[in-house]
């Protein structure tokens, strides 16, 4: 659906009359569904004079609406179904809509039709002077029965009486020429309809040359008094007599010209051609050049706008987010290499630099690093630094809280030893914000597939999902599950996931984290790891959600990890 084309019903109903008054001529093209309506509404050409030319209104045809559903044009497609198509067209367009009302049914049915069409935002309904159920007018030799003109005129009267919008128009369509009754008879019937209050006359013909309808128009203006024709419109449908131009018809007194079935007919040929070519070549490659690209369709139906808006919303979120990296600590590896983890070289770039690069790709550049060990060697620019002087005796949590001042809005904390891909951070920030989650940990579900080395006990997670042995393939959505236990001392059977050292806190989540942290430190509880405080948050009844990843990250804990990471980044 296109949000570009929003117009209120009253304005749209009125628009047709206004355009007729202003331009004295209305060029109309058929549409039979949302997409063809979008094309009918939007298609423009630039003339040599530089002026743009486009259609003024849309025709909702009984022939093409029925045919696009695979039915013949015999009033077998119900009014409700027609109204569905009408609404489909109205929803995505801003131009006036003229509806082909067929015979209009009996008086009562027509009254309901008028009400419903007005309510939908239709500007004009045209009904034809045949008996229900009519047959399409264009096929020679088809049974065609005309309605007694007094009965038909009464139907017009009833419609005019029931309508509430003065600019909603009811036009009488004369089928006398279709059935071969001649111009005189057509004029006689038209006069009765105009007297009954019809807003205009559509004169139909299936001749291949326009002489008949031009003759009708001439007589119509010659014979009918000016007063009777005041504000009335004359309409032509040049399907069979298509050599005459719209401008010529206009010069001959026609106010509206309807190209009544052409978009459906062109798609018919294109569809059949494509189907045949795919069969012929046993693949679609040969026909590809003749097709609209998927992106062209995406543009037309508004999908690219949605993409842009999503990106803008996500960029806005990401521009607000801070990332706090606690990078103070010492490990066996840092002792051995005499370097903080953040400063270890991975194929020409420091770990921290690689983290920053991924964050930048996601659109995050507000990065805070809490240093300690080797603090003077950091020196990377465009970061803000805090220091944990007690890095030798305190853990990651104390380090993180050196940057407590920064926890005044949503933030991500990212352990200094984690390398990760873009989608993990992107999904964490965007999905957490969209789900309005307050605390979200990124966990890996490939945990069970690894052989884990003994040197480090992992941060393991058990959630509220019911079956710990649930196969990985049976996916539950991320952010559905909540952490129940987190820590290093979970038995294998209890474990669902591994926490990867990346977590999101909303503004409220940050407040909870600070509150719980301070209440624990006040009690002098033994509290050193990040997971301890998360467990306490869970125990106090707050929801800690998880975002699942399946690989896409690694930790730098030993020299083998450095080698492995080096291999991974050998081209970047």
- Judged by the rule CB under 6 A, the positions of this chain that interact with ligand SPV are 61-63, 73, 100, 136-138, 237, 239, 260-261
Binding partner of residue 388 among ligand SPV, Mg ion, none, CB under 5 to 8 Å per kind?
A: none
**Minimum CB–partner distance for residue 28 and ligand SPV (Å):** 11
Helix (H, G, I), strand (E, B) or coil at 553: strand
| Both tokens assigned to 443 | 């966990």
Binding partner of residue 260 among ligand SPV, Mg ion, none, CB under 5 to 8 Å per kind?
A: ligand SPV
Binding partner of residue 60 among Mg ion, ligand SPV, none, CB under 5 to 8 Å per kind?
A: none
| Stretch in the footprint of Mg ion (CB under 5 A) among 99-107, 223-231, 247-255, 422-430 | 99-107
Q: Which is nearer to Mg ion, 125 or 428 (CB)?
A: 125
CB 363 within 8 Å of CB 357: no
Residues 6+ apart with CB under 8 A from 529: 395, 396, 397, 459, 487
**Minimum CB–partner distance for residue 80 and Mg ion (Å):** 17
Enumerate residues 100-119 that contact Mg ion by CB under 5 A.
Answer: 100
**Minimum CB–partner distance for residue 74 and Mg ion (Å):** 10
Q: What are φ and ψ of residue 484, in 5° steps?
A: -110, -50
Q: Which is nearer to Mg ion, 100 or 459 (CB)?
A: 100
Q: Which is nearer to ligand SPV, 100 or 445 (CB)?
A: 100
| Stretch in the footprint of Mg ion (CB under 5 A) among 39-47, 84-92, 95-103, 239-247 | 95-103
**Minimum CB–partner distance for residue 73 and Mg ion (Å):** 6
**Minimum CB–partner distance for residue 58 and ligand SPV (Å):** 12
Q: Which is nearer to ligand SPV, 237 or 512 (CB)?
A: 237
**Minimum CB–partner distance for residue 285 and ligand SPV (Å):** 37
Q: Is 75 in the site for Mg ion (CB under 5 A)?
A: no
The Cα 547–Cα 502 span in angstroms is 10
Enumerate residues 265-284 that contact Mg ion by CB under 5 A.
Answer: none
**Minimum CB–partner distance for residue 424 and ligand SPV (Å):** 56
Q: How far is CA 569 from CA 58, 334, 541, 565, in A?
A: 58, 21, 42, 6
Q: Dump the DSSP string for 213-280.
A: HHHHHHHHHHHS-HHHHTT-EEEE--SSSTTS-HHHHHHTT-SEEEE-SHHHHHHHHHHHHHHHHHHH
Pairing of strands 418-420, 460-463: unpaired
x-marked contacts with Mg ion along 336-375 as a string, rule CB under 5 A: ----------------------------------------
CB 415 within 8 Å of CB 324: no
Q: Which is nearer to ligand SPV, 217 or 325 (CB)?
A: 217
CB 321 within 8 Å of CB 410: yes
Q: Which is nearer to ligand SPV, 100 or 532 (CB)?
A: 100
x-marked contacts with Mg ion along 48-67 as a string, rule CB under 5 A: --------------xx----
CB 342 within 8 Å of CB 416: yes
Q: Which is nearer to ligand SPV, 124 or 547 (CB)?
A: 124
Q: Is 417 in the site for Mg ion (CB under 5 A)?
A: no
Rounded to an integer, what is the distance from CA 228 to the centroid of its chain?
49
CB 42 within 8 Å of CB 14: no
Instruction: Give the number of other Cβ atoms within 10 Å of residue 28's Cβ.
Output: 25
Binding partner of residue 368 among Mg ion, ligand SPV, none, CB under 5 to 8 Å per kind?
A: none
CB 103 within 8 Å of CB 147: yes
∠ CA 241-246-248, nearest 5°, is 85
Query: Which single residue is written with the structure tokens 């027509």?
Result: 110
The Cα 252–Cα 249 span in angstroms is 5
Q: How far is CA 556 from CA 57, 337, 350, 443, 553, in A?
A: 66, 12, 12, 17, 10
Q: Is 445 in the site for Mg ion (CB under 5 A)?
A: no
The dihedral of CA 70, 73, 75, 76: what is its sign? negative
Q: Which of 8, 56, 65, 73 is catalytic?
A: 73
Binding partner of residue 564 among Mg ion, ligand SPV, none, CB under 5 to 8 Å per kind?
A: none
Q: Which is nearer to ligand SPV, 110 or 497 (CB)?
A: 110
Binding partner of residue 137 among ligand SPV, Mg ion, none, CB under 5 to 8 Å per kind?
A: ligand SPV
The Cα 497–Cα 280 span in angstroms is 52
∠ CA 4-6-7, nearest 5°, is 145
- Secondary structure letter of residue 541 according to DSSP: T
Does the active-site annotation cover 390? Answer: no
Q: Is 85 in the site for Mg ion (CB under 5 A)?
A: no
Q: Is 93 in the site for Mg ion (CB under 5 A)?
A: no
The Cα 333–Cα 454 span in angstroms is 15
**Minimum CB–partner distance for residue 66 and Mg ion (Å):** 8
**Minimum CB–partner distance for residue 128 and Mg ion (Å):** 7
Q: Which is nearer to Mg ion, 239 or 371 (CB)?
A: 239
Binding partner of residue 239 among Mg ion, ligand SPV, none, CB under 5 to 8 Å per kind?
A: ligand SPV
Chain residues binding Mg ion by CB under 5 A are 62-63, 100
Q: Which residues are catalytic?
A: 73
């Amino acid at each position: 659906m296109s949000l570009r084309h929003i117009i209120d019903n009253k304005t749209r109903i009125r628009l047709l009359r206004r355009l007729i008054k202003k331009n004295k001529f209305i060029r109309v093209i058929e549409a039979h569904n949302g997409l063809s309506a979008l094309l009918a509404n939007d298609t423009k050409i630039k003339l040599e004079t530089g002026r743009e030319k486009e259609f003024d209104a849309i025709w909702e045809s009984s022939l093409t609406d029925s045919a696009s559903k695979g039915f013949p044009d015999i009033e077998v497609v119900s009014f409700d179904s027609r109204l569905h198509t009408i609404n489909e067209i109205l929803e995505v367009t801003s131009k006036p809509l003229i509806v082909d009302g067929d015979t209009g049914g009996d008086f009562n049915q027509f009254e309901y039709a008028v009400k419903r069409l007005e309510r939908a935002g239709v500007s004009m309904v045209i009904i034809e002077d045949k008996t229900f159920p009519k047959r399409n007018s264009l096929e020679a030799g088809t049974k065609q029965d005309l309605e007694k003109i007094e009965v038909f005129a009464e139907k017009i009267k009833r419609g005019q009486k029931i309508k509430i919008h003065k600019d909603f128009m009811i036009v009488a369509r004369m089928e006398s020429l279709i059935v071969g009754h001649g111009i005189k008879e057509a004029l006689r019937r038209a006069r009765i309809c105009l007297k009954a209050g019809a807003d205009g006359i559509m004169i139909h013909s299936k001749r291949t040359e326009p002489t008949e309808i031009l003759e009708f128009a001439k007589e119509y203006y010659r014979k009918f008094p000016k007063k009777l024709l005041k504000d009335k419109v004359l309409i032509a449908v040049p399907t069979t007599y298509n050599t005459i131009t719209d401008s010529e018809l206009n010069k001959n007194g026609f106010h509206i010209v309807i190209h009544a079935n052409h978009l459906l007919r062109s798609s018919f040929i294109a569809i059949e051609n494509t189907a045949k070519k795919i069969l012929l070549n046993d693949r679609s490659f040969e026909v590809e050049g003749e097709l609209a690209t998927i992106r062209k369709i995406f543009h037309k139906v508004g999908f690219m706008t949605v993409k842009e808006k999503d990106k803008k919303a996500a960029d806005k979120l990401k521009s607000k987010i801070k990332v706090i990296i606690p990078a103070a600590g010492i490990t066996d590896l840092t002792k051995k290499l005499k370097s903080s983890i953040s400063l270890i070289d991975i194929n020409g770039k420091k770990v921290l630099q690689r983290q920053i690069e991924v964050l930048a790709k996601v659109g995050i550049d507000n990065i805070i690093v809490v240093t300690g060990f080797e603090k003077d060697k950091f020196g990377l620019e465009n970061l803000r630094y805090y220091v944990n002087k007690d890095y030798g005796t305190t853990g990651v949590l104390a380090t993180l809280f050196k940057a407590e001042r920064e926890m005044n809005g949503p933030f991500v904390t990212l352990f200094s030893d984690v390398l990760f891909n873009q989608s993990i951070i992107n999904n964490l920030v965007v999905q957490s914000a969209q789900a309005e989650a307050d605390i979200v940990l990124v966990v890996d579900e490939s945990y069970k597939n690894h052989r884990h080395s003994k040197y480090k006990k992992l941060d393991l997670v058990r959630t509220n999902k019911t079956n710990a042995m649930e196969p990985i393939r049976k996916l539950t959505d991320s952010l559905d599950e909540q952490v129940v236990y987190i820590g290093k001392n979970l038995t294998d059977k209890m474990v669902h996931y591994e926490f990867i050292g990346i977590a999101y806190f909303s503004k409220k989540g940050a407040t909870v984290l600070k509150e719980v942290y301070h209440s624990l430190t006040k009690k002098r509880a033994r509290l050193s790891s990040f997971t301890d405080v998360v467990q306490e948050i869970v125990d106090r009844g707050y929801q800690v959600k998880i975002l699942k990843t399946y690989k896409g990250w690694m930790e730098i804990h030993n020299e083998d990890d450095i080698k492995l990471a080096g291999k991974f980044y050998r081209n970047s």
